[in-house]
Structure 1
Amino acid sequence: MSTLSRRKFFSCSLGAAAASVAPASLLQSAYASASIPTPESLNANAYQRAIHAAIEFQNQMMDAYATGKTVRLIQSYADQSGLESTAFTYDNAVSIHAYLLHGSADSQARAEILGQGLIYAQANNFPFNDGRFAQAYFVNAPSSDGVFVTPAAFPFFFYTSAVGDQAWAGMALAQLFKRTRHAAYLTAALNVGNWIVNNTYSTLAPGGYSFGTNINQFNQSVPSGNGKSTEHNIDTYAFFTMLDALTDHGSATNGMTWSALAAHALGFVIAMWNPSGPFFWTGTAGADSSAINFYPIPEDCQTWSYLAMLNSHYAASIDWALKNLQPTDSASSPQSSLTGSETFTGMTFDTASLNTGFADLNAVWLEGTAHTVAALIARTQSEVGKARVMDWQAALRLVNTCDTAQAELGANQTVNGIPIALGSGLIAATSLLDTGFGYTYGTSKHIGATGWYLVATQGGNPFQLGYSS
């Protein structure tokens, strides 16, 4: 697998939050459909066991090379991915959100250790420590400071700084500050926020923030030629909205308020809305950053836009994704990795994934499936009646896909050579999945997929400060 970009709510684990969005009468109505799991198969203990297994996987991955209070980041994929000890910045941000939502004393401590790992990575980033994060780091050996975070050099050289990765690290740091009030987290969040503003703020129509920077063969920082990403601007809007709240409506170093800077990202996102879809285009293409990129159309733009904006005017993008990006993978699918009678219905990465020439066009992307669960749960909080029931039904079906995948897929995998138990953690995709952006997802266990599963099944929204929709 090549990865060049990151990239049980009927359960007492939701506590009071579940009661507020899913009263017993609503759940009984949702379960009335024979096409979704029965109440007996969705009992609280089963969901707690599934969530516990996902947390245990995160813990094993985090403790693969160092334990206790040692500052570190987490290897993103099982050894079988071929990515060695690579820890993607985005994946680690998702893990922080998952741990904070889990809320146990151990999970809280782990979230803070990972936050300290991000702070160290930012302060010691190669070859620039100007507030940015690299795409990824290695975590199998200590630095000279004893921190298990070192540059992801040969053979990958994951030095690129995409705006989405920066914003995700910033959101994780902002949530840590919100929870702990430790100033170092806010300082690091402000540092990366200012880096985004100073290096990617675009004055070309329709505004927003450009893709980010690359590091060339001379270790020089150069602007990416990839145009502007709708997903990145969704992330930046949410992040800068958090900074606005945490700084009491403060300003960036360029003098603009965080509120105005968030609005600059939001303006780009809205410009990418296609009402006839209805969905969001992927962004703009080319060096001039003005021509809309019409293909492929990604899942994350459709679900993350709702999680970030909570705006019913654009909520139909979720339905578009469910209708157009929801394949079923089975052993009969060309290029499928599945065997026997296994079938999995869930989300794929984008429209290109459904038209691939070398991967499984029916592969289910489990991280994106969890994105959609989170968006559906968030949407239920502004719905009543049949619409609310239907969203719960859809979410329950997708959770069942993730639960079954965790229970059955990913046998014989390891981290640092240590076996990972079957039933612990989610694989990235049910079969080889082509994103259409020059990289693929495979069947290795993945902290990003598992982290998003934990976020969704614990009723969290990482785009909102404090996680509530």
Structure 2
Amino acid sequence: MSHLPSRRHLMLGGGAALAAGALYPATASAATSTTTSATTSAATDPSVRKAYAFLADKFDEYGSGTALRVPRSYTGGFFETPTWTFVSSFAYDDALVILAWLASGTTDDVRRATILGDTLLYAQAHDPIGDGRTRASYQPDSFTTLTGSLDIGSPAAFTGNQAWVGMAFAQLYARTGRRRFLEGALLEADWIQDKTYDADRAPYGYTGGRTADDQPNTFKATEHNIDVGAFFTMLARLTGKQVWRARAQVAFSFVAAMQDPASGHTWTGTDPDGVTTNRTPIPEDTQTWAYLATLDRRYSRSVDWVLSNLSTTDAGVSGVSYSDTDVSKVWLEGTGHLALTLKARGAQGDARLAARLLANIERAQATTPNGDGRGIPSASSDGLDTGFGDLYYASLHTGATAWYLMAAKGWNPFRL
């Protein structure tokens, strides 16, 4: 099974003062807080402002004003040569950008979030299949042609992507009250329920969505079920319909079934048979996201597993890596996940460690060789092996930048 091109972007193939061990504090894992602060320290304010400026610049690269548009996901380094530039905009990244702007809450950022949300609604409404799905990526330099049809980059429709776009719509509705966003979220949710729900093969949950040629992905991913559980929980609150809460509980029951009782970490999910546990590799995101989405103390052990097993230092930056396959480089997006999770958990030493992780992301922002001093790179160095058939590069990334901003703000995207 592959993990998942749901958000693991299909095209990717081929002075930190923190030693790796120093990331792990001598603290217990008990969760003492379930809330996060919506403020940043004075020390992080300049970095945060620069990161928001990067997102605004990426959004306006191919349009301005109220024009519908999407920002390209990656800038510089591996993705730009004298003869070629990779410009795809991944829907997962676009959802994160919306959420980061909502975390800011300024009038300008909410306006930008609304325009990008309307762009994804347009993509949903004008999809050639037209069943409520959005696609893995779109081309921002030619988002629509003269006939109004979409320029789709990757046509796959992975379950996790649908849930992230749905969460962005749900958060937009909660912030703006504009019903079109709730309607778009419900279309995404109905698609997930109709196309991916599996009550035949235990552990029950939601499968991986549809491939680029619209064939079913029969594996179940822990990551996807975390996303679905959080998304459906939002819909239960926004609509008052408890059927969404019951469906969320199915997704979260799958996540619970994937937690290893001995180590505390969660496994990737299942093989394509939908039953056999996939044990290789063990990723970072399912550990921290399980905690953020549920605020359940059981996943505090998953967070501790990340600190113990994925901490690393590279290129003067310390943080955590993508999975246990390759811990030679820092995955900046995942380091943002972890910083936000530690803020949310609030165990002894967590706030201090979260601040150190954020300081290291800021160091990467300032020192990455392909940087502009504003955006956050995907990885500390080129060639981070995810273990799922992808490599990550030290190119500026809207998704990593958005996660940094949500972590700096203490804003949990999985919760209304």
| TM-score, length of structure 2 as denominator length | 0.87
Report the CA distance shift for 1:299/1:60 in structure 2 as closer, same or farther (over 3 A).
same
Q: From 352, 375, 400, give the equivalent of 1:425.
A: 375
Report the CA distance shift for 1:21/1:94 in structure 2 as closer, same or farther (over 3 A).
closer
Structure 1 position 74, deviation (Å): 1.2
Structure 1 position 324, deviation (Å): 0.3
Q: From 101, 112, 123, give the equivalent of 1:99.
A: 101
Q: From 395, 398, 401, give the equivalent of 1:447.
A: 398
Which blocks of at least 5 consecutive residues in structure 2 are unaligned? 9-34
Instruction: Please state if 1:461 is matched with 2:415.
Output: no
Q: Give distance in 2, aligned partners of 1:62 and 1:149.
A: 18
Q: From 226, 239, 245, give the equivalent of 1:234.
A: 226
Q: What does 1:292-441 correspond to in 2, within 5 Å?
A: 292-330=277-315, 343-354=316-327, 362-380=328-346, 383=347, 387=348, 390-411=349-370, 422-431=372-381, 432-441=383-392
Report the CA distance shift for 1:60/1:299 in structure 2 as closer, same or farther (over 3 A).
same
Deviations 1:217-270 (A, max 9, x none): xxxx21024x110010000000000011111125xxxxxx11111111011111
Deviations 1:21-43 (A, max 9, x none): 68xxxxxxxxxxxxxxxxxxx96
SS, match of residue 326 in structure 2: helix
Contact 2:68 2:116 in 1 (8 A): yes
Q: Give distance in 2, aligned partners of 1:211 and 1:305.
A: 17
Q: What does 1:173-322 correspond to in 2, within 5 Å?
A: 173-203=169-199, 204-216=201-213, 221-225=214-218, 227-249=219-241, 257-286=243-272, 288-322=273-307
Q: Compare relative contact order (CA 8 Å, sep 6+) and give the higher one, 1 or 2.
A: 2
Q: Give distance in 2, aligned partners of 1:297 and 1:197.
A: 27
Corresponding letter in the other structure for 2:172: L
Identity across matched positions, percent? 41
Deviations 1:384-440 (A, max 9, x none): xxx1xx1012111111110100011143x6xxxxxxxx2111110011211111111
SS, match of residue 133 in structure 1: coil
Aligned residue pairs: how many?
Answer: 379
Corresponding letter in the other structure for 2:313: T
Aligned to 1:129: 130
Which structure has the greater CA radius of gyration? 1
Deviations 1:106-155 (A, max 9, x none): 101000011001101111224x2211111000011252479896211xxx
Corresponding letter in the other structure for 1:183: R
Corresponding letter in the other structure for 1:352: T
Aligned to 1:163: 159
Report the CA distance shift for 1:149/1:322 in structure 2 as closer, same or farther (over 3 A).
farther
Q: Give distance in 2, aligned partners of 1:66 and 1:135.
A: 21
Q: Give distance in 2, aligned partners of 1:404 and 1:371.
A: 17
Report the CA distance shift for 1:262/1:102 in structure 2 as closer, same or farther (over 3 A).
same
Corresponding letter in the other structure for 1:284: T
| TM-score, length of structure 1 as denominator length | 0.78
SS, match of residue 91 in structure 1: helix
Aligned to 1:339: none
Q: Give distance in 2, aligned partners of 1:54 and 1:447.
A: 9
Two-structure CA RMSD over aligned residues (Å): 2.0
Contact 1:125 1:151 in 2 (8 A): no
Q: Give distance in 1, aligned partners of 2:233 and 2:44.
A: 33
Aligned to 2:23: none
Q: Give distance in 1, aligned partners of 2:87 and 2:36.
A: 39
Q: Give distance in 1, aligned partners of 2:71 and 2:356.
A: 30
Contact 1:280 1:302 in 2 (8 A): yes
Report the CA distance shift for 1:267/1:4 in structure 2 as closer, same or farther (over 3 A).
closer
Contact 2:368 2:377 in 1 (8 A): yes
Report the CA distance shift for 1:302/1:4 in structure 2 as closer, same or farther (over 3 A).
closer
SS, match of residue 277 in structure 2: strand
Q: Give distance in 1, aligned partners of 2:147 and 2:403.
A: 29
Q: Give distance in 2, aligned partners of 1:132 and 1:199.
A: 10
Q: Give distance in 2, aligned partners of 1:160 and 1:191.
A: 17
Contact 1:274 1:280 in 2 (8 A): yes
